[in-house]
Structure formats: C-alpha cells, structure tokens
Amino acid sequence: MSYDRIYQANQASGLAYLSGQLLDEPGASHQIDAKYPALLFKQQLVDLIEKVYGLISDKLKKELNPLLELCIQDPRTSQAKASVTSAGLGQHNQLTHWLGIVKILNSYLYLLIANHVPTILVHKLLTQIFSMVNVQLFNRLLLRRECCSFSNGEHIRAGLAQLKHWCNDVAQELADSAWEALRHIRQAADFLVISRKQMRTWREIRNDICPALSLQQLERIVGMYWDDMSGTNVLSAEFTSSMRATMHEESNSLSSFSVLLDDDSSIPFSLDDIAKSMPNIEDTVESDLLPFIRENQSLALILQRRD
C-alpha cells in the first residue's frame, strides 16, 4: 500500500478532524487533554494496521484456496497408474500444486520484507496462513472418503514436506510454529501411511501418532480409511475394542463436538507487539518518505522536529 493511501486513510478516519476542525470552531474554549490526540492516533493506527493485515490475509487465502482443493488428493488416484518410464514425470506433476503454494508464499514473504513490515507481523501472518492450510486440508480429508487412502496419505506427506523445506530454507524462525500449525493434517497423513496397522495398539495410535486429533476425528478417519495398495483395511482387535470403549466412556462429554476444525481469522497481535520489534529503517526509507512529507502540509511538524 502506498504512503499516500495510508495517509488518506488516516485523514478519513479522523486525523483531519483533530488537526483542524476541533481547534478552529468559533468560540471554542475547550481544554484538551494533551494525551488525547496521541491516544486517538494510536487507536487509529491500530485500526489501520489491522485493516491492512486483514486485506493481505484475505487476499493470500483467496490465492491459496484453489490450490488447496487440488492438493488434498493425489492426481494419480483418479487416473491409470503411470508407467515405469514416466514415473519421474509423474512424481513432479503430483507436487505441482504444492509447489504453487510455495511460490505464492515466497512472493508474499519477499513483498513484506521489501516494505519493511515488522518481523513479528510477518511471523504472525504466515503462521495464521499455515493454520488455515491445516484447517482446509484436514476438513476436506474428513469429508471425502476417497482421500483417506494409503497412497493419498503419501501424497499429502510429500506436499507437507515441501512446506517444511520452505520454512527451513527461507523462514527459519517460522519453521517450528508453522509445523505445529499443520499438526492435524500432518498427523492424519501419518496415520494413513503407517505400516502394519494390524499390529498397532490403540494407545500407540492415539497418543504417539495422532495426539492432536480428537477421539471423534480419529474415529472418522479410521472408519473411512482404505488401503488402495494392498487391499487390506485391517486394524487390530485391541485397537477396535479400545476405541469403542473409549467412545462409550466419553460419549456424554463429546455429544455436541464437531469433527471439523474452525478457521481462526482473528487479529493475532497488538500494537505493542509491533512496537517492540520495529526495526530502525530511517536510513533505508528516508529518501522515499521525505518527498511525501514535504508535499503534505499537515505533516510539516515532522520536518520541523527533524531539523
């Protein structure tokens, strides 16, 4: 967003009122608390930052959503098996949509950095976007039985690995929080691909492989799972009996629980968070800011204080 648009937004929201109308009213004799303009400016600054954050977040989600719809299912499952000679090409093609997500994340990250957006704000935005990716993929998995297969689990895990590589290579400080934000879809994929399911115990799957999944979410995935590679869907008798017993014990407390996740679109930061992490960018943007300040008489005070 350009400096002019930011300035105009502030004027429209009340700064012009503070700088002129309030003090120029005929016969005005009100005493104004010196703190009030600063507090009002701070609140309007928070509102502006939240508005811009919401616009960027919404735009990024709109760009990612079409790709997420394509990422949830391995394109090979709806086609004939690729031949041995085209296996390499098939592997590349099945990751095309995941790589598209990485490309979009890259473009936004570089744009935010180039515009000197505070690190904490970049971190919050990308972590929230990874949480949205988790919600969208996980909910789609729960709603489509054809996606709950062994080969599809491998496809999802390979795609998630691309996101992890991106975090490690480009945004290392984001890696841990982003990987944690993907916990539901990551653990669901882990269940789909684990070997020897008939040997796995209830405790092992619930506590070690899928600890983030609720009882009802795990039951739904187990019920929809099918092994398209070996044709067996067998789970151990101990697993089945323990799951049913646990469901019976917790049925009262879980009666109103939804298996689908909710996307958290709240603003995950405060102005104080941003202020504490603001970099010193005076030297890098001074030449860009000064023409804008000189062209706006209402900002003359900034030049006077600078001189």
Residue 135: its pLDDT value, please?
96
For residues 28-44, b (16+ Cβ closer than 10 Å) or e, as one string?
eeeeeeeeeeeeeeeeb
Query: pLDDT tens digits, residue range 193-237?
Result: 998 888 899 999 999 999 999 999 999 999 999 888 776 667 888
Full domain range(s) for residue 144: 49-73+93-277
Q: Write down the mean pLDDT value for the chain.
A: 78
298 assigned to some structural domain: no
Q: Is 149 helix (H, G, I), strand (E, B) or coil?
A: strand
302: exposed, middle or buried (C-beta count within 10 Å: 0-12, 13-18, 19+)?
middle
Bigger pLDDT: 134 or 3?
134
40 assigned to some structural domain: no
- Tokens 């929201």, residue located: 13
Query: pLDDT tens digits, residue range 59-107?
Result: 999 999 999 999 988 776 555 444 333 344 445 567 899 999 999 999 9
- Rounded percentage of the chain residues whose pLDDT exceeds 90: 38
- Distant-in-sequence, close-in-space partners of 196: CB < 8 Å, separation ≥ 6: none
In this predicted structure, the answer to whether residue 113 has a pLDDT above a threshold of 60 is yes
44 assigned to some structural domain: no
15 assigned to some structural domain: no
- Per the structure, the count of domains in the chain is 1
List beta partners, residue 44.
none
- Where residue 247 falls among pLDDT bands split at 50, 70, 90? confident
d(CA 218, CA 211): 10
36 assigned to some structural domain: no
d(CA 214, CA 50): 32
Bigger pLDDT: 255 or 50?
50
